[in-house]
Every structure is written in structure tokens, then in C-alpha cells.
Homo-oligomer: A and B are copies of this chain.
Amino acid sequence: MGVLSVLFLSLATILAISLQVSGLHIPHLIRQPIAGEEPSPGSSCSSWRLGVETNNIRDWKTVPKTCEGYVGDYMLGPQYREDSRIVTDEAFRYAESLQLAGDGKDVWIFDVDETTISNVDFVAQYGFGAEPFNGTASIEWVMKGEAPALPESLKLYRRLLNLGIKVVFLVRRTEYERDATERNLKLVGYHTWEKVLLRNSSDYNQTNVEFKSSKRRKLVERGYRIIGNIGDQWSDLLGDYAGNRTFKLPNPIYYA
């Protein structure tokens, strides 16, 4: 952010305050953008992020180069935490309102990457998603099994267990990564689960929606009721047997 932008921001703030002080909060007609009045990179990146989170922008490969700084600041700052907290609080409020059967068949599905644990330390090395990931380095990162928990999801996990809900982790990692994944989950506080469902060789050609739908169908066929489902990708939450209610955590660093 340049010095000029700072000056402009301060002037805009002073203007906004003067208008509020003078009580000038009159409804306006929808204002057409004035020629030459370009949105700042910040407002464009904020709109891009909203477009991603609402599933309007799909199949993107990397974060726009101009938004690298914006996305990095977001992922390391308080807004990402607060955005996550609102979602997990809402999820708990919903779970709390349910009449549970108490027969151990009520399950809640958690995705793993950017849902229960955070790979931001790894992704930071690739411009917070503005550069393509290195596949080999990515597997090495997973195999280390040291990714920290997303604190809001860990809190939700504990609160759901307290309600008597069983947790199923459903993630598009491979069976090869099972040990590292389970070790990582335990390391950061996810000590118990009903199942950890991963990909095996027969699932390799499936899209994320197909893979997750098929695993969820099997759960339902075995008598489980999927009362909730939380993930950071729309592909975690769309498709068949998605769950009685789904919750979308933020993720502006990659699309899957």
C-alpha cells in the first residue's frame, strides 16, 4: 500500500466522519461508478474472495497475482479467524437445537485440510495460492503430519462430541497418507473419531463431489444419519447425501 493510498484512506475516513456528524445519511439512488473512479485492488480482491466463497467463481487455478498480499494478510490476520468463528458458532447452535436419537448413529462430517487443520504455513511458500503448488513438496508436508488445528473447528469438534455426536473425517487424501493424517489429527487435539475415510485406488478417477457422495452414501447405507457436514470447499458440501445441514468455512487459497 503506497503513501498516497494511505493519505487517500485518511481523507476518506475524515469525509465519512464529517458526513456522519452532519447526519447526512439520506438514501441515495444506486450510484453509477464515476468514470476514472476505479475500485482499489483491496476492494477488488475482497469481491474476488466473496465470489469464491459464494461459489460464483469456480475452477480457478491460482489466486490472482494482484491479490497475493490481500489473501496473505487475510489468512494470517483476525478476519479469517472471525469469519471461521461465525460459521462454527452457527454450526454448534444448529447441532444444539437437534433432538438426537442417542443410538450412536448421528454423525457429523468434517473435511480435513483447511477445515480441521491448517496448511497455511505450507501454502505461504507459494504466494498464499498465487503460485501453483509443488506436488512432491505437498505430499512431504502432509507426511510430516504437523499442521496446526483450526482453533474454531477444534472447538466445534469438542462441543459436538459433548452433545453425543460422532465425528467422521472425510478427506480426499490417499490411504498412503492415513498414518500421517491420523497422527496429525491426534497431535493437535482431535483424539477420537468414528471413521477416517480416505481415497483408495478405485476412487482415483472420481471428482471430489463424486468421491465424497459415494463415501457418504455408504455411511447412510450402514445406518448412519449425517446430521451435519462442514468443509471449506463447495465440493465437500454438494452432491448426494450432503447432510441435513452443511457449513462452508472460508478458503481463498485454493480450489478443489
Q: Which residue numbers of A lie inside 8 Å of B, CB to CB?
A: 1, 3, 6, 9-10, 13-14, 16-17, 20, 25-33, 37, 39, 43-44, 46-48, 50-51, 53-57, 69, 72-73, 76, 78-79, 81-83, 85-87, 90-91, 118, 120-122, 124-125, 148-151, 247-248, 250
| Centre residue among A51, A53, A87 by max chain B CB count within 10 A | A51
Minimum distance in angstroms from A119 CB to a CB of chain B: 10
A120 contact set on B, CB distance < 8 A? 27-28, 30
Minimum distance in angstroms from A13 CB to a CB of chain B: 5
B17 touches A6 (CB 8 A): yes
B30 touches A57 (CB 8 A): no
Minimum distance in angstroms from A11 CB to a CB of chain B: 11
Given contacts A33-B81, A44-B82, A56-B248, contact A121 B16 (CB under 8 A): no
Give the docked Cα–Cα distance between A155 and B48 (Å): 19
Give the docked Cα–Cα distance between A150 and B33 (Å): 12
Give the docked Cα–Cα distance between A120 and B44 (Å): 22
A13 contact set on B, CB distance < 8 A? 1, 6, 9
29 A-B residue pairs with Cβ-Cβ distance under 8 Å, sorted by A, are A1-B17, A25-B124, A27-B120, A27-B121, A29-B121, A30-B118, A30-B148, A30-B149, A30-B150, A33-B151, A37-B78, A39-B81, A39-B82, A43-B79, A44-B82, A46-B79, A46-B83, A47-B83, A48-B86, A50-B50, A50-B53, A50-B83, A53-B53, A53-B54, A54-B87, A54-B248, A55-B248, A56-B86, A56-B90
B87 touches A39 (CB 8 A): no
Give the docked Cα–Cα distance between A44 and B69 (Å): 22
A118 contact set on B, CB distance < 8 A? 30
B51 touches A90 (CB 8 A): yes
B43 touches A247 (CB 8 A): no
